[in-house]
């Protein structure tokens, strides 16, 4: 299927408007409640490979965006699905049932951004050990201030 | 529980042999482990019952660091994400920036990028094969392959100025042109490496002990591999013909003529043979690229690096490395510094997710071999 | 996997191969035809202290903050090898070709003998902080020639009206930057600060170039007015000492600072500009008089007014502006630009009295009575004479007088053939002005300009020389005037002899001529443009005696532009220069000096 045909089919069956971009990619923005049904629909039309789940902290707009990057081996088209999540209450839904490695990506996002995914049992720490501060990849986390507070290194430098 | 064999059944298996159950720290201080990473295993006798990965020992905070430096300053951080195969990282990052800018790099730069990518793939495959041999106890293979790697690393040193962390790709092309006499030396090194393949066959691939040892470890079917997100040689070893160089081409791959090898089988032996096929393919790709190398400029004019801005937008750029699929998701806010850089490492699905599926029921002797065959390398998921 | 008969014997080829061992790196590994690391290896740094200017660009690009240039002004860099990741970006960005890397990579620290026996010694050494010098120069590694440099070395060209078009009128022929050109040009700057130190007025050049790059023209103009109240004029005619020392010019072409200044001033909308000029002025009751409304006087007036004084400017000519108006032709500095800048200054509430000559309409003593302090900046409006007999004739003129007449709209004789004596900017100005007037009247150009200096030593700007040649002026360097020929009361021509050298071995002005090579040129008018002098006739004799003079018999001033009479301040072309920007700097300093002097008196 060509890229335009895919765009039309997605629009027809889910109502989500997607935009083609670059030479072989599609971009779509999906509200939080419909993200899992959208992803499972994508899996049925040939997008089998979940490449990455990441998140972006738009602190000016008070939202965080969870971004799913999915690739289709059969169609050779890539789709980037963005789903915004309010910053004050960052809760979304797990895609573990569709792709098993999603569990690990969501665990990492929970640790680094504070987004919790309902249905995912492992929401504990993954990379950081004994972390007691705010999730570090958020934009209001200041690395220099943390270093000064935790290690006091600047006092020792001559 | 997340494995397919229920825990109770595994306990029964263990109790049949009348073994005690204990907790074993497989790594980070273990010669059979690649890098600083650990599995905390619940073992009964020699059979693994449960596994808990213990990552984060190599966590350097790259993604946060990259938001605080200029676009060009990040180039010195990026190769350090993967020690073994640093070039795909640089190409992925620079390619993402070029996608957002909408720029097309010159032809000569594309071919030089292809040559360095394939050379880097060869060094990584040599290290991978050597590590696989070493995990089985066949250290001769490891030492000999490291010696072969020296030729390629010296060539890199001549071209870029450093052996491992090349810092050679820039947004817009490459940093320097090929010096005189380099292509001839590359041909000599390739000839010598090709003549050594006969020895690897005798030592490893046709060795009946190795074949018996490797077969049956970590079996994967095609659907499983695709579903779990495994890519690269491990995916092609199941028989599924998918390669980013063919499906989503970048650099000079559209101009090169090659067939993607796909050995069927899906277990560790098939993955080892797949690595051998990829190695031979890499040599032929380098020879093709050398023949077709055009003249011309080797980089675009991007202006003053202290005042280089990328317009607003985001891009996802994927690159085929020797371990799997590397991808960078770069988000720019129209600023001097990136807004978010997210690194997708190929070892994350294998090392952190697939372990729950494969390891329970496996003997502890096979864990190191399983890791080496799936090319699990901790720096790229710890970042 | 292929099997063949010989494969068991394949390993025998290694029987004669030398075993691979890890050797000490300096021994006989000859992969690159010389032992050791590769010829492009990124090892320890070397720095050539003769070439390094301390610009600090290496410090800005270093990804690990390993380089510190202490003070960041004219000091060579110091590298912390504990942080350095040997990426080589500092070498790729170096503006002066001084920093490079070598093939050495071994560095050992020896603990001093008295600590060596101690097991647990706490070595708080700064042994990782190294100032690269020529220690590793013998072994060059990673270098960056000009074509690989990361700096943007080519300047954005400025569009100008071509020669055949521009000579038909006095319209300004430099077109100015567009937004894209200004953005590209401003992005070339590495913000080193060498220009700021060299500018006589110490304008904050890196900051306003950055503001232009960020498209914040209000901020740019605001920064300019901190040190220079005439940015539109300097953006057109400044002698750009900053561009001469720009660190990018060491390897390429300097950043076009003057054109960026002009872009910011021209492109800022009028209402925003007027908003900037509305300033809160704390009146303090003091008064000051300024003699001469050139750049120096206007600058002093602006800064004195901002400090709260009531300022009156006295100008002898019917239009304000001094040498800017009457000395620079309209095609280089149109009158609209001068009027715009002067109006913004006067809008602060400064009084100006035109057509009032101090010394004739009002005396200097009266100014001393009526005002608290006086600043004189009358400039250099007299031309020097050669001393020939023909100079009494009307057709032997001074360039400065002619330029003034053309500017003020008075009638000027335009003969068919003109000779101009002199090689400076004023000579080029008058040549090009006469060329335009001749084209209008006769349809062809007949100007010959002769100068003492040879082509390499010409004191005028290179652009002036090139442009005047394009416009049809014949420039003949290395000729000195012997005599001006006359017949009755008409000029017929002039005689010139070849000049061999202008300066002697000590740099003093003593030209040597070759009498044998003589040429005679025909002309109807000879214009002299060999130097300028000041007219201090307005200062009464007794005051002139009391004023201290320098060796060159100009008025002596201290660093606050104060003369030996405490109420009298002097500056501009009278005491230094001759340059617009030096005059502006003098005016600013004089304003500060007057402020200090009057405050201390209270």
Can you give the three-state secondary structure of C17-29, one letter per residue?
CCCCCCCCCCCCC
DSSP reduced 3-state for A134: coil
CA atoms within 13 A on the CB side of B94: 31
- Considering the domain architecture, whether residues B125 and B203 belong to the same structural domain is answered as yes
CATH assignment at residue A14? 3.30.460.80
The tens digit of pLDDT for each residue in C469-486 reads 888 888 888 888 877 777
Measured between alpha carbons, how far is residue B277 from residues B88, B116, B272, B273 in Å? 20, 19, 9, 6
**Element spanning B39, H or E:** strand B38-44
Do the beta carbons of residue A32 and residue A60 sit within 8 Å?
no
Do the beta carbons of residue C173 and residue C166 sit within 8 Å?
yes
Structure tokens at B85: 């195969």
In the predicted model, what is the mean pLDDT of chain C?
82
More confident residue, C382 or C92: C92
pLDDT computed for residue B1 by the predictor: 36
β partners of residue A84: A65
More confident residue, C442 or C255: C255
Do the beta carbons of residue B352 and residue B2 sit within 8 Å?
no
Do the beta carbons of residue A109 and residue A120 sit within 8 Å?
no
Task: Return d(Cα C365, Cα C346) in angstroms, integer.
Answer: 26
DSSP reduced 3-state for A135: coil
What are the chain C neighbours of B210 within 8 Å (beta carbons)? none
Pairing of strands C351-353, C310-314: parallel
Instruction: List, in order, residues 6 or more apart from B337 with CB less than 8 Å away.
Output: B67, B68, B69, B70, B71
Structure tokens at B69: 């430096």
Q: Which of B55, B231, B339 sits opposite A127 (nearest CB)?
A: B55
Instruction: List, in order, residues 6 or more apart from C86 with CB less than 8 Å away.
Output: B162, C42, C43, C101
Q: Which of B69, B73, B199 sits opposite C11 (nearest CB)?
A: B199
Task: Return d(Cα C558, Cα C575) in angstroms, integer.
Answer: 10
Return the CATH class of domain C382-503+510-531. Answer: alpha beta
More confident residue, C24 or C101: C101
- Fold type of domain C163-277: Fumarate Reductase Iron-sulfur Protein; Chain B, domain 2 (1.10.1060)
Task: Return d(Cα C223, Cα C232) in angstroms, integer.
Answer: 13
**What ipTM is given for this predicted complex?**
0.91
Given an 8 Å threshold on Cβ–Cβ distance, is C88 in contact with B160? Answer: no
Given an 8 Å threshold on Cβ–Cβ distance, is B353 in contact with A57? Answer: no
What are the chain A neighbours of B352 within 8 Å (beta carbons)? 101, 104
The tens digit of pLDDT for each residue in C5-37 reads 665 666 677 677 766 665 555 555 667 777 777
- Considering the domain architecture, whether residues B254 and B325 belong to the same structural domain is answered as yes
What are the chain B neighbours of A99 within 8 Å (beta carbons)? 227-229
Q: Average pLDDT in the C195-212 region?
A: 90
- Fold type of domain C287-381+550-601: FAD/NAD(P)-binding domain (3.50.50)
Q: Maximum CA pair distance of chain A?
A: 66
Range of the domain at B239: 62-346
Residue for token pair 């960026």: C260
The shortest C-alpha distance from A84 to chain B (Å) reads 15
Instruction: Search chain B and give the residue with CA nearest C150.
Output: B304
Q: Which of C31, C40, C63 sits opposite B77 (nearest CB)?
A: C63
Q: Average pLDDT in the C499-514 region?
A: 77
- Considering the domain architecture, whether residues B233 and B311 belong to the same structural domain is answered as yes
Task: Return d(Cα B262, Cα B274) in angstroms, integer.
Answer: 7
Neighbours of A24 (CB within 10 A): 16
Query: Which residue in B305, B335, B337 has the most chain C C-beta atoms within 10 A of its own C-beta, making it the best mutation to test that interface?
Result: B305
Given an 8 Å threshold on Cβ–Cβ distance, is C40 in contact with B158? Answer: yes
Given an 8 Å threshold on Cβ–Cβ distance, is B316 in contact with A78? Answer: yes
Q: Is residue B381 part of a domain?
A: no
Given an 8 Å threshold on Cβ–Cβ distance, is B304 in contact with C151? Answer: yes
Residue for token pair 């120069």: C137
Query: Closest by alpha carbon to C572, among C529, C536, C528?
Result: C536
Domain boundaries, chain C: 29-112+122-150, 163-277, 287-381+550-601, 382-503+510-531
Structure tokens at C250: 């060491």
Given an 8 Å threshold on Cβ–Cβ distance, is B61 in contact with A129? Answer: no
DSSP C390-431: GGGSTTEEEHHHHHHHHHHT------S-EEEE--SHHHHHHH
How far out from the chain centre does Cα C167 lie? 27
Q: Fill in the DSSP letter of residue A63.
A: E
Q: Average pLDDT in the C246-259 region?
A: 89
Orientation of helix C462-470 relative to helix C425-442, angle to 10°: 20
Question: What is the band of C335 on the pLDDT scale with cuts at 50, 70, 90?
Answer: confident
B184 part of contact set with chain C, CB < 8 Å: no
Task: Return d(Cα C545, Cα C522) in angstroms, integer.
Answer: 46
- The phi and psi torsions of C8 (rounded to 5 degrees) equal -65, -25
Measured between alpha carbons, how far is residue B73 from residues B66, B68, C60, C63 in Å? 9, 10, 10, 5
Instruction: Search chain B and give the residue with CA nearest C40.
Output: B161
CA atoms within 13 A on the CB side of B73: 23
What are the chain B neighbours of A143 within 8 Å (beta carbons)? 61, 64, 68
Instruction: Search chain C and give the residue with CA nearest B168.
Output: C87
DSSP C493-530: EEEEEEEEEEE-TTS-EEEEEEEEEEEEEE-SEEEE-S
Given an 8 Å threshold on Cβ–Cβ distance, is A73 in contact with B229? Answer: no
DSSP reduced 3-state for A130: coil
Whether the model pTM is above 0.95: no
The shortest C-alpha distance from B247 to chain A (Å) reads 6
In the predicted model, what is the mean pLDDT of chain B?
87
Interface of B with A (CB under 8 A): 2, 55-56, 59, 61, 63-64, 68, 99, 226-229, 231, 240, 242, 247-248, 314-316, 318, 325, 327, 329, 331, 339-340, 342, 344, 348-349, 352-354, 357, 382
Do the beta carbons of residue C30 and residue C39 sit within 8 Å?
no
Query: Which residue in B39, B227, B338 has the most chain A C-beta atoms within 10 A of its own C-beta, making it the best mutation to test that interface?
Result: B227
Residue ranges for chain A with pLDDT beneath 70: 1, 153-158
B306 part of contact set with chain C, CB < 8 Å: yes
B72 part of contact set with chain C, CB < 8 Å: yes
Q: Average pLDDT in the C515-525 region?
A: 82
Task: Return d(Cα C301, Cα C342) in angstroms, integer.
Answer: 11
Range of the domain at A24: 3-156
C36 part of contact set with chain B, CB < 8 Å: no
Question: What is the band of C427 on the pLDDT scale with cuts at 50, 70, 90?
Answer: confident
**Element spanning C382, H or E:** strand C382-383
Given an 8 Å threshold on Cβ–Cβ distance, is C188 in contact with B206? Answer: no
* b/e C200-237 (16+ beta carbons within 10 angstroms → b): bbebbbbbbbbbbbeeebebbbebbbebbbbbbbbbbb
Query: Closest by alpha carbon to B69, among C209, C85, C45?
Result: C85
Q: Which of B68, B248, B352 sits opposite A104 (nearest CB)?
A: B352
B154 part of contact set with chain C, CB < 8 Å: yes
pLDDT computed for residue B15 by the predictor: 65
Given an 8 Å threshold on Cβ–Cβ distance, is A101 in contact with B56? Answer: no
Task: Return d(Cα A103, Cα A94) in angstroms, integer.
Answer: 8
Query: Chain C window 471-490: which residues touch B at a Cβ cutoff of 8 Å?
Result: none
CATH assignment at residue B181? 1.10.645.10
Query: Which residue in C1, C6, C95 has the most chain B C-beta atoms within 10 A of its own C-beta, making it the best mutation to test that interface?
Result: C1
Backbone dihedral region for residue C124 (phi beyond 0: left; psi -120 to 50: alpha; all else: beta): beta
* b/e B234-246 (16+ beta carbons within 10 angstroms → b): bbbbbebebbbbe
B301 part of contact set with chain C, CB < 8 Å: yes
β partners of residue C311: C288
DSSP C292-354: --SHHHHHHHHHHHHHT-EEEEE-SSSSS-THHHHTS-TTTS-HHHHHHHHHHHHTTT-EEET
**One fold for both C287-381+550-601 and C382-503+510-531?**
yes
Q: Average pLDDT in the B168-191 region?
A: 90
Q: Average pLDDT in the C92-116 region?
A: 79
B180 part of contact set with chain C, CB < 8 Å: no
Given an 8 Å threshold on Cβ–Cβ distance, is B318 in contact with A51? Answer: yes
Do the beta carbons of residue C33 and residue C55 sit within 8 Å?
no
- The phi and psi torsions of B106 (rounded to 5 degrees) equal -65, 160
More confident residue, C71 or C547: C547
C141 part of contact set with chain B, CB < 8 Å: yes
What are the chain B neighbours of A56 within 8 Å (beta carbons)? 331, 339-340
Asked if pLDDT for residue C175 goes beyond 80, the answer is: yes
Q: Which of C1, C87, C188 sits opposite B304 (nearest CB)?
A: C188
Q: Which of B158, B179, B199 sits opposite C10 (nearest CB)?
A: B199
For residue C236, whether the previous peptide bond is cis, meaning omega lies within 30 degrees of 0, is no
Q: Is residue B382 part of a domain?
A: no
Structure tokens at C539: 């200062």
Do the beta carbons of residue B178 and residue B104 sit within 8 Å?
no
Pairing of strands C310-314, C490-503: unpaired
Do the beta carbons of residue B93 and residue B344 sit within 8 Å?
no
The tens digit of pLDDT for each residue in B316-351 reads 999 999 988 999 999 999 889 999 999 998 988 888
pLDDT computed for residue C435 by the predictor: 86
What are the chain C neighbours of B205 within 8 Å (beta carbons)? 1
Count of B–C CB contacts within 8 Å?
98
Given an 8 Å threshold on Cβ–Cβ distance, is A104 in contact with B248? Answer: no
C145 by Cβ neighbours in 10 Å (0-12 / 13-18 / 19+) ranks as exposed
β partners of residue B102: none
- Chains with 3+ CB–CB pairs under 8 A to B are A, C
- Considering the domain architecture, whether residues B290 and B257 belong to the same structural domain is answered as yes
Asked if pLDDT for residue B92 goes beyond 50, the answer is: yes
- Considering the domain architecture, whether residues B129 and B47 belong to the same structural domain is answered as no
The tens digit of pLDDT for each residue in B97-141 reads 999 999 899 999 999 999 999 999 999 999 988 888 888 888 888
Architecture of the domain whose range is C29-112+122-150: 2-Layer Sandwich (3.30)
The shortest C-alpha distance from C61 to chain B (Å) reads 7
Q: Is residue B383 part of a domain?
A: no
C182 part of contact set with chain B, CB < 8 Å: no
- Chains with 3+ CB–CB pairs under 8 A to A are B
What are the chain A neighbours of B349 within 8 Å (beta carbons)? 101, 104
Task: Return d(Cα C11, Cα C24) in angstroms, integer.
Answer: 28
Task: Return d(Cα C444, Cα C105) in angstroms, integer.
Answer: 70
Q: Is residue B1 part of a domain?
A: no
Given an 8 Å threshold on Cβ–Cβ distance, is A73 in contact with B226? Answer: yes
The tens digit of pLDDT for each residue in C148-167 reads 888 888 888 888 888 777 77
CA atoms within 13 A on the CB side of C476: 18
Q: How many domains in chain A?
A: 1
Rounded percentage of chain C residues whose pLDDT exceeds 90: 2
Q: Which of B76, B161, B165 sits opposite C41 (nearest CB)?
A: B161
Given an 8 Å threshold on Cβ–Cβ distance, is C85 in contact with B150? Answer: no
Task: Return d(Cα B300, Cα B304) in angstroms, integer.
Answer: 12
Residues shown for chain A? 158
DSSP B94-159: HHHHHHHHT----HHHHHHHHHHHHHHHHHHHHHHHHHHHHHHT-HHHHHHHHHHHHHHHHHHHHH
Neighbours of C498 (CB within 10 A): 15
Task: Return d(Cα B211, Cα B267) in angstroms, integer.
Answer: 11
């Amino acid at each position: 299927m060509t890229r335009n045909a895919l765009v039309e089919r997605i629009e027809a069956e889910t109502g989500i408007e997607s935009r083609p971009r670059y030479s072989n990619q599609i971009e779509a923005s999906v509200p939080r409640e419909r993200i899992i049904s959208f992803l499972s629909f994508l899996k049925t039309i040939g997008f089998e490979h979940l490449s990455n789940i990441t998140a972006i902290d738009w602190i000016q707009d008070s939202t965080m965006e969870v971004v799913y990057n999915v690739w289709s081996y059969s169609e050779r088209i890539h789709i980037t699905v963005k789903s915004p999540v309010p910053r004050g209450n960052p809760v979304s839904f797990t895609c573990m049932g569709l792709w098993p490695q999603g569990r690990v990506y969501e665990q990492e996002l929970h640790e680094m951004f504070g987004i919790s995914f309902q249905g995912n049992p492992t929401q504990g720490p993954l990379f950081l050990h004994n972390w007691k501060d705010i999730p570090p990849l958020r934009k209001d986390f200041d690395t220099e201030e943390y270093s000064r507070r935790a290690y006091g290194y600047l006092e020792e430098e001559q | 529980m997340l494995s397919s064999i229920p825990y109770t059944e595994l306990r029964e298996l263990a109790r049949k042999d009348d073994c005690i159950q204990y907790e074993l720290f497989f790594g980070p201080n273990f010669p059979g482990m690649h890098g600083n990473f650990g599995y905390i295993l619940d073992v009964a006798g020699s059979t693994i019952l449960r596994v808990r990965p213990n990552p984060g020992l190599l966590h350097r905070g790259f993604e946060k660091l990259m938001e605080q430096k200029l676009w060009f300053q990040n180039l010195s951080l990026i190769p350090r994400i993967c020690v073994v195969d640093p070039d795909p990282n640089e190409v992925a990052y620079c390619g993402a920036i070029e996608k957002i800018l909408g720029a097309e790099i010159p032809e000569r730069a594309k071919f030089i990028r292809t040559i360095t990518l394939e050379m880097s793939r060869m060094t990584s495959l040599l290290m991978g094969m050597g590590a696989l041999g070493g995990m089985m106890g066949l250290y001769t293979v490891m030492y000999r392959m490291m010696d072969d790697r020296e030729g390629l690393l010296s060539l890199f040193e001549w071209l870029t100025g450093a052996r491992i962390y090349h810092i050679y790709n820039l947004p817009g092309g490459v940093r320097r042109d090929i010096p005189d006499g380099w292509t001839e030396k590359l041909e000599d090194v390739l000839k010598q490496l090709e003549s050594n393949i006969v020895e690897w066959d005798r030592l490893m691939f046709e060795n009946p002990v190795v074949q018996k040892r490797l077969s049956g470890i970590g079996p994967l079917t095609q659907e499983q591999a695709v579903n779990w997100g495994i890519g690269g040689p491990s995916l092609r070893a199941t028989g599924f013909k998918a390669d980013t160089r063919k499906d989503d081409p970048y650099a000079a791959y559209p101009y090169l003529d090659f067939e993607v090898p796909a050995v069927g089988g899906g277990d560790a032996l098939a993955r080892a043979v797949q690595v051998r096929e990829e190695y031979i393919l890499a040599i032929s790709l380098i020879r093709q690229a050398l023949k077709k190398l055009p003249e011309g400029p080797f980089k675009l004019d991007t202006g003053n690096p202290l005042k280089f801005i990328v317009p607003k937008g985001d891009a996802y750029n994927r690159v085929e490395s020797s371990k799997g699929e590397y991808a960078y998701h770069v988000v720019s806010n129209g600023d001097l510094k990136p807004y978010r850089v997210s690194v997708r490492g190929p070892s994350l699905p294998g090392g952190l997710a697939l372990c729950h599926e494969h390891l329970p029921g496996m003997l502890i002797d096979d864990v190191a071999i399983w890791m080496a065959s799936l090319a699990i390398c901790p720096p790229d998921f710890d970042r | 996997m292929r099997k063949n008969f010989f494969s068991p014997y394949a390993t025998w080829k290694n029987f004669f191969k030398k075993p691979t061992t890890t050797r000490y790196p300096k021994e006989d590994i000859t992969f690159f035809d010389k032992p050791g690391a590769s010829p492009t290896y990124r090892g320890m740094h070397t720095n050539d202290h003769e070439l390094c200017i301390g610009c600090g660009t290496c410090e800005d690009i270093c990804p690990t903050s390993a380089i510190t240039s202490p003070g960041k002004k004219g000091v060579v860099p110091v590298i912390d090898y504990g942080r350095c990741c040997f990426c080589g970006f500092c070498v790729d960005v170096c503006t002066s070709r001084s920093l490079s890397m070598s093939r050495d990579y071994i560095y050992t620290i020896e603990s001093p003998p008295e600590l060596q026996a101690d097991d647990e010694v706490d070595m708080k050494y700064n042994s990782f902080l190294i100032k690269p010098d020529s220690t590793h120069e013998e072994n060059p590694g990673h270098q960056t020639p000009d074509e690989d440099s990361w700096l943007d070395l080519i300047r954005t060209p400025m569009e100008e009206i071509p020669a055949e078009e521009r000579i038909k009128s006095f319209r300004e022929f430099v077109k100015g930057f567009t937004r894209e050109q200004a953005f590209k040009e401003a992005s070339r700057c590495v913000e080193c600060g060498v220009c700021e130190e060299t500018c006589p007025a110490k304008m904050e050049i890196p900051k306003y170039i950055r503001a232009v790059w960020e498209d914040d023209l209000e901020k740019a103009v605001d920064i300019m007015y901190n040190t220079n109240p005439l940015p539109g004029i300097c953006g057109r005619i400044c002698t750009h000492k900053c561009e001469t020392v720009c660190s990018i010019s060491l390897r390429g072409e300097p950043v076009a600072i003057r054109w960026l200044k002009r872009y910011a001033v021209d492109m800022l909308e009028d209402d925003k500009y007027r908003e900037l000029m509305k300033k809160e002025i704390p009146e303090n009751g003091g008064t000051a008089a300024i003699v001469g409304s050139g750049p120096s006087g206007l600058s002093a007036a602006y800064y004195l007014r901002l400090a709260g004084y009531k300022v009156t400017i006295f100008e002898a000519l019917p239009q304000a502006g001094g040498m800017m108006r009457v000395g620079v032709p309209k095609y280089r500095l149109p009158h609209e630009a001068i009027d715009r800048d002067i109006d913004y200054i006067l809008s602060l509430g400064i009084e100006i009295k035109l057509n009032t000559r101090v010394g004739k309409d009002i005396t200097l003593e009266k100014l001393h009575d009526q005002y608290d302090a006086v600043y004189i900046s009358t400039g250099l409006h007299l031309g020097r004479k050669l001393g020939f007999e023909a100079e009494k004739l009307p057709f032997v003129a001074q360039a400065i007088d002619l330029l003034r007449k053309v500017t003020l709209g008075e009638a000027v004789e335009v003969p068919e053939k003109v000779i101009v004596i002199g090689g400076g900017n004023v000579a080029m100005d008058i040549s090009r002005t006469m060329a335009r007037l001749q084209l209008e009247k006769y349809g062809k150009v007949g100007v010959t300009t002769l100068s003492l200096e040879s082509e390499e030593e010409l004191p005028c700007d290179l652009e002036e020389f090139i442009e005047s040649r394009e416009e049809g002026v014949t420039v003949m360097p290395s000729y000195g005037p012997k005599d001006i020929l006359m017949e009755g009361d008409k000029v017929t021509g002039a005689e010139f002899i070849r000049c061999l050298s202008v300066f002697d071995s000590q740099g003093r002005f003593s030209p040597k001529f070759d009498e044998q090579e003589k040429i005679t040129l025909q002309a109807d008018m000879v214009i002299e443009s060999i130097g300028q002098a000041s007219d201090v006739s307005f200062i009464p004799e007794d005051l002139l005696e009391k004023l201290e003079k320098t060796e060159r018999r100009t008025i002596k001033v201290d660093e606050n532009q104060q003369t030996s009479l405490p109420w009298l301040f002097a500056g501009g072309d009278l005491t230094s220069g001759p340059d617009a920007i030096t005059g502006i700097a003098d005016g600013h300093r004089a304003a500060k000096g007057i402020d200090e002097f009057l405050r201390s008196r209270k």
